[in-house]
Amino acid sequence: MAARNNMRLDKLLSMLGEGTRAQVKEMIRAGRVTVDGAAARDSGMQVDPENSEVCIGGRRLSYKAVRHVMLNKPQNTLTAARDKKQKTVMDLLPPMYAAMGCMPAGRLDKDTEGLLIITSDGQLAHRIISPKKDVSKVYFARVAGTLGDEDIEAFAGGLHIKDSDGEFDAKPAGLEIVSASDGASEVRVRVSEGKYHQVKRMLAACGAPVVYLKREKIGALSLDPALAPGQWREMTEEEAALLEQEAD
């Protein structure tokens, strides 16, 4: 009987983005794939993805049981695993991430940019978005309206929101005014919950509808400024540890 964590060699190679099942089977038949130093001839052979040394043409493949990705989500992209009509955040990543069970941790509106964590650790994703954990999120916004000290106080006291999307009491939140001129402001908002369109609704309640919105931080984790909208990279061990600490 195969060990619990073992999988077929062709499945592992295709999961790691090395080609379709047919393509990786041809690589194996051609003798380009080695497992623990020996040429692999059987595409169905069982390998331990975490401990076996699997190489293609001498290049060792890297498998990690848990993957954490930092994405700078672009506008006009759905935060979803898949959609028949519209582009999703998972479409921005190689297929291996979906094959490994990676999913977005929380949501960003279609027209909102910024930091989105995509992870194969479902428990961590749940803790990041759980209201009980109070993991803060920081957003930068441009709004049509001039905000002032009274709005900072209103955010700090907790806003009562009542609009076409419903009614709720927002927890106390932070509002920092970056700049304000006649009819326009740039602000940063810190919230610790994730009601539907919450940041937009809170700012609109202060007479400042959002023109542009970008998430900059989740807990202590900041969006890498080197990532342009639509770009991504795997998180470092230190970054993953930051998230774990925030969600504990």
- 5, pLDDT greater than 80: no
pLDDT at residue 3, as a whole number:
53
Q: Is 105 within a domain?
A: yes
pLDDT in tens, 23-65: 999 999 999 999 999 999 899 999 998 889 999 999 998 887 7
Closest CA to 68 of 114, 115, 109: 115
- Distance in angstroms (rounded) separating the CA atoms of residues 222 and 242: 10
Mean pLDDT of the chain: 92
CATH number of the CATH domain containing 186: 3.30.70.1560
Do 117 and 140 sit in the same domain of this protein? no
Q: What residues does 133 pair with on adjacent strands?
A: none
Do 207 and 235 sit in the same domain of this protein? no
- 105, pLDDT greater than 50: yes
Do 108 and 208 sit in the same domain of this protein? no
CATH number of the CATH domain containing 123: 3.30.70.580
pLDDT at residue 225, as a whole number:
97
Do 124 and 230 sit in the same domain of this protein? yes
Average pLDDT over residues 170-185: 94
pLDDT in tens, 190-212: 999 989 999 999 999 999 999 99
- Distance in angstroms (rounded) separating the CA atoms of residues 143 and 178: 11
CATH number of the CATH domain containing 12: 3.10.290.10
Q: Name the residues annotated as catalytic.
A: 109
Do 128 and 227 sit in the same domain of this protein? yes
Q: Is 178 within a domain?
A: yes
Question: Regarding predicted confidence, which is higher, 97 or 222?
Answer: 222
Domain count for the chain: 3
Q: Is 211 within a domain?
A: yes
Sign of the CA dihedral with 162 first, then 164, 167, and 172 last: negative
Average pLDDT over residues 146-166: 96
Do 128 and 160 sit in the same domain of this protein? no
Q: Please, are residues 6 and 63 in contact by the beta-carbon 8 Å criterion? A: no
Do 228 and 126 sit in the same domain of this protein? yes
- Distance in angstroms (rounded) separating the CA atoms of residues 108 and 115: 9
Q: Is 1 within a domain?
A: no
pLDDT at residue 1, as a whole number:
40
Do 21 and 49 sit in the same domain of this protein? yes
Closest CA to 206 of 247, 173, 234: 173
pLDDT in tens, 180-193: 988 899 999 999 99
Q: Could you tell me where the DSSP H helices lie in the chain?
A: 9-15, 21-29, 95-99, 122-129, 149-157, 198-205, 237-247
Q: What is the reported pTM?
A: 0.83
Do 13 and 25 sit in the same domain of this protein? yes
Pairing of strands 166-169, 174-181: unpaired
Domain ranges, residue 94: 68-132+223-247
